[in-house]
Structure 1
């Protein structure tokens, strides 16, 4: 009987903290102690691990003291089960400790010894890599996710007995990961399906090129939702570092597909207007989990029927759209989740929402009250506002064939490349990320180009924040036109995007 050690990882938001698992095994009255601030699920692991060991054909020692370090860090979940079982058996002398040194054990144990998948394997292994650990054993269902972390040799296990055989250098059924196949865009909706709406299509293209927030207003049946759903088809694929960042969030939320372990396309998240504040922003008992706005990181958050959302939900978006991060304080600490998303809103102009505006039965006060659910501070953070008109003819052949997503995406990609090259030394990727002071000081436009914007500030047509957003849109319009810098026409067009009345 002796002391043994192995490793697992605790999650704090999207950040992982390596946890050393120590097991002290001795003779005496049967007793199991678990130290290190475990939550209820982790505290119950004592019984799960004991049953799994016995049902795997091994004896459970009499007295076991388990310690999880750092001891002052709250720990939760069932992902420590596999590490606890291996540490106890190594301390009891049932398996050697050689391979446990420098190995991360992640997985929940069933009573019969099966290893079940847990959330957050990718961010756990990223933290283990930073800590210098070189090997990991994870549930077989999570092996493709674990394989995304370069520099760590990952093995997938189906049963505890397989892991024990591997620790003994005996033949085992542990499997190694297979290569990850690239994801294609076959399932992305195409812009060619949208009938008419040239102004809204142009607004969608500008929004995609600069990652600008967008508001679509119009009567039902005009294609607001169709347009919004197709914006993802205009966006370029995520860079490798962005893909890992997004995949880690989806892994923690339990939304990662086993068939597509790496999220390479910008996510499109569309919560229902009846969603709770916790589901939108994130939360939960203990350590908070990510919500919809973090799931939309590096992608699009679409709120259909935006005026039907509760005021607290809409106002919760204001800080996230500015800072690109959500900080949620809970009992076990403050969880930080990235939330740099592109916000797209769609709404009817009034409660009755007739197809023809002349058929509206709402009074001016009712229209104002309905649309005022989108507060002024929130609307000030919307870069582009566009009005959609009813469709008058299904045959638009006189306008020429509508452009598909592939054609528009080529222009969007070129515009984004120009933006990346311009902002590369500052670390910004899109025009929407550029701070206002940088645009005004280091990339200031000539006085002639700024004349319209200055006039808008003088008359109170735009706020200082709105002026900064107009400048960002102007740079996007210049990128789409392959110009070195915006001119007065681009600034005027940017002001027009904010001038479109939505009510």
Structure 2
């Protein structure tokens, strides 16, 4: 028989598609043709596969070989097809009986010596195979723990083409996944290390409880970076769906540690201020890779020295902040990645960055305005909390009483989130920051007229946009949840206005 077929999975963005790898061997001038919209890495597979087959002790068929990847209209990217191509080719040449591999998905990159190397994106690939009804997968040995995360699949690992051939021919065992790979829950920095800054700590707690974006503006040494780095420590661990999504994103980006299970800690991304637009929102040649905003999905994206970022990189965040997704379009198709991250901006109030703050600032007023104006109005309008931190004082720095730890604050955050999830359950939302504005302005959630008088006055005066109006209401609900009240009152709205505008902070 000169024809064989095995199953693999192609990945476009986070979406996996079952791919049939066909091999047809016919008389004629020896050569290899690959069809089915392969990229450069797949075109080069012919040389990798040939060397791997020969160095694994198998005979290379000197015939005209046609390899087809179905569906042919789906772009194929990467080297994860190598192992499936080698198996299909050996099956078509009659060297390998493929009955043992019926309805088995095969993934893996081949080295020239026949070793099977780990590949990116195994988790979403395996999840797509399970969704398509496939019950068994063979993956690189280094990816078995990752693949085993998907329930209902029989996962086996292989470290070389020779071992896979021995399994098919002689029934030799393959590598099993490690028993119960522990989820990644490594603890990060703790809030107990942050001295003073009660305003910054309050803003951080409100941001965590409601899923709000946060801007921290203050002089050097005020604790902006320390606070931002500790935001993940007071966020709840990711549930199963969110953990699968976050782990899949890190797998696609090649950032998942070998042998790691699900990522349960909210991710934290802090790109340097020289980061380009593709590194922030995603991109790159071939298949567009997720950027920092997607790698921070269900976690925190921290932009330190935010005014130093390029205007293009900052403005590119406006749509992800609003929609929670990034759509990257390319000539050969688009890739969509989730990007529901909490944005935290940190900025000095001026270029001189005096540790004493405004009291000893040497910058002219025009210079100060120009510096912070690098953060555009439309971007800041999407930031719920905009807090100005005062300089640190010696009394705060030397305070003998230990501040609250992350565990104590996290307990209040969890309780507030539970209250919000119960309240918004009927609408399908879980966080106050996600509630559409029109829903907040309709009964039964519409606040009393006397409680929103100042807020309406600011909207009429033009000092607050309609988007800002809704964001203040969301903040008020979060403040009420943290304080254990069923509905926000006038004081909650007043505090929300203060946290939103930075006035009096």
TM-score range with shorter-chain normalisation? over 0.9
Deviations 1:52-94 (A, max 9, x none): 1111111112221111001011112111000001111111222
Give 2:474's match in structure 1, choosing from 472, 475, 486: 472
2:183–2:261 Cα contact (<8 Å) kept: no
* 2:490 maps to 1:484: no
3-state SS, counterpart of residue 137 of structure 1: strand
Q: CA deviation at 1:214?
A: 0.5
2:36–2:73 Cα contact (<8 Å) kept: yes
1:453–1:467 Cα contact (<8 Å) kept: yes
* Distance in structure 1 (CA, Å) of the matches to 2:42 and 2:341: 34
Alignment of 1:158-173 (within 5 A): 158-173=159-174
* Distance in structure 1 (CA, Å) of the matches to 2:299 and 2:166: 44
* Distance in structure 1 (CA, Å) of the matches to 2:146 and 2:179: 11
Q: CA deviation at 1:388?
A: 1.1
Q: 1:429 to 1:448 in 2, by over 3 A?
A: same
- Indicate the residue corresponding to 1:409 in structure 2: 410
Q: CA deviation at 1:195?
A: 1.0
- Indicate the residue corresponding to 2:21 in structure 1: 21
3-state SS, counterpart of residue 179 of structure 1: coil
Identify which range, 333-342 or 418-427, moves more after superposition: 418-427
Q: CA deviation at 1:331?
A: 2.1
* Distance in structure 1 (CA, Å) of the matches to 2:424 and 2:354: 45
Give 1:463's match in structure 2, choosing from 445, 460, 465: 465
Q: 1:176 to 1:94 in 2, by over 3 A?
A: farther
Identify which range, 364-373 or 484-493, moves more after superposition: 484-493
- Indicate the residue corresponding to 1:229 in structure 2: 229
- Indicate the residue corresponding to 1:300 in structure 2: 300
Q: CA deviation at 1:323?
A: 0.2
1:189–1:233 Cα contact (<8 Å) kept: yes
Structure 1, gaps ≥5 residues long: none
Q: CA deviation at 1:184?
A: 3.8
3-state SS, counterpart of residue 23 of structure 1: strand
- Indicate the residue corresponding to 1:285 in structure 2: 285
2:278–2:284 Cα contact (<8 Å) kept: yes
TM-score by length of structure 1 reads 0.97
Structure 2, gaps ≥5 residues long: none
Q: 1:238 to 1:394 in 2, by over 3 A?
A: same
* Distance in structure 2 (CA, Å) of the matches to 1:184 and 1:9: 29
Deviations 1:409-465 (A, max 9, x none): 000000011111111222212111111111112421122222222111111121100
- Indicate the residue corresponding to 2:89 in structure 1: 88
- Indicate the residue corresponding to 2:372 in structure 1: 371
Q: CA deviation at 1:189?
A: 0.6
Deviations 1:12-58 (A, max 9, x none): 11111111111112333312111101111101101111111111111
3-state SS, counterpart of residue 441 of structure 1: coil
Q: CA deviation at 1:154?
A: 0.9
- Alignment RMSD (CA, Å): 1.6
- Indicate the residue corresponding to 1:133 in structure 2: 134
3-state SS, counterpart of residue 425 of structure 1: helix
- Indicate the residue corresponding to 2:251 in structure 1: 251
Q: 1:67 to 1:502 in 2, by over 3 A?
A: farther
2:9–2:16 Cα contact (<8 Å) kept: yes
* Distance in structure 1 (CA, Å) of the matches to 2:88 and 2:178: 25
Alignment of 1:91-490 (within 5 A): 91-185=92-186, 187-356=187-356, 357-393=358-394, 400-442=401-443, 443-490=445-492
1:156–1:177 Cα contact (<8 Å) kept: no
* Distance in structure 2 (CA, Å) of the matches to 1:285 and 1:397: 52
* Distance in structure 2 (CA, Å) of the matches to 1:176 and 1:495: 53
- Indicate the residue corresponding to 1:33 in structure 2: 33
* Distance in structure 2 (CA, Å) of the matches to 1:395 and 1:314: 34
Deviations 1:218-254 (A, max 9, x none): 1101111001000110000000000000011111011
2:146–2:262 Cα contact (<8 Å) kept: yes
TM-score by length of structure 2 reads 0.97
